[in-house]
Amino acid sequence: MWMGANTSAALLAARLDKIAVAGSDSHTISGAGRTYTEVPGARTAEEFFAGLRAGKGRIRGEHGSYSKLTADVFHIVKALFLDKPWALVFSPLVLLVPCATLGHWINEIRFCRKWSLMVENGRNRSDTFWGMDSTLGATSAG
C-alpha cells in the first residue's frame, strides 16, 4: 500500500482512538509477511492482543509501491502461463500490465487523499464509512 495511505490510516486510528495494526497486502508468496505488527515481549496470542489493547503494538516492515505491485502482477501472470499453457494466447496483453497497475495505483492515491480530506475536515457523516459506526471498539474473540 502507498506510504501516504499507511500514514493516513495511522493518523485516523489515533484520531478515533483505535488500535493501529499492519499486515502485508501482497498477492504473491515473495511479498507475504513483509509488513507486520509486533508487540515486544509477547509470547502468546493472549499477550499479543493484550499488548495491542495496551498500545504496545509496533508496525514494522515495508510500504508498497507501484513497482512492487507491477512485479507481483507479472509473477501471477507467469504462474498462470506455467499452469495453463493455453493462456499463452493472451500473452500480448502482458504489455498492458504496467498501464493497468499504474491506473490502480493512481486510483489508490486518489481514494486515500479524498477520504483523508473528508475525515480531516470533519465530514464523517454516518454514511462516510458505509454506515459503519466509527465508535465501535476493537474486540477479541473469546
Q: Is residue 138 one of the residues assigned to a domain?
A: no
Residue 23 belongs to domain spanning: 3-120
Q: What pLDDT was estimated at residue 132?
A: 52
CB contact at 8 A, 72 and 34: no
| Measured distance CA(8)–CA(14) in Å, rounded | 10
Q: Is residue 140 one of the residues assigned to a domain?
A: no
Q: Is residue 128 one of the residues assigned to a domain?
A: no
CB contact at 8 A, 40 and 58: yes
When pLDDT is averaged across residues 69-75 and rounded to a whole number, the result is 92
Exposure letters 40-60 (e unless 16+ CB within 10 A, then b): eebeeeeebbebbeeeebeee
Q: Is residue 74 one of the residues assigned to a domain?
A: yes
Q: How many domains does the chain have?
A: 1
Q: Is residue 100 one of the residues assigned to a domain?
A: yes
Q: What pLDDT was estimated at residue 141?
A: 45
Q: What pLDDT was estimated at residue 123?
A: 58
Q: Is residue 57 one of the residues assigned to a domain?
A: yes
| Residue 82 reports pLDDT greater than 60 | yes
**Minimum mean pLDDT among 28-32, 43-47, 70-74: which range?**
28-32
| Measured distance CA(121)–CA(123) in Å, rounded | 6
Q: Is residue 99 one of the residues assigned to a domain?
A: yes
Q: Is residue 44 one of the residues assigned to a domain?
A: yes
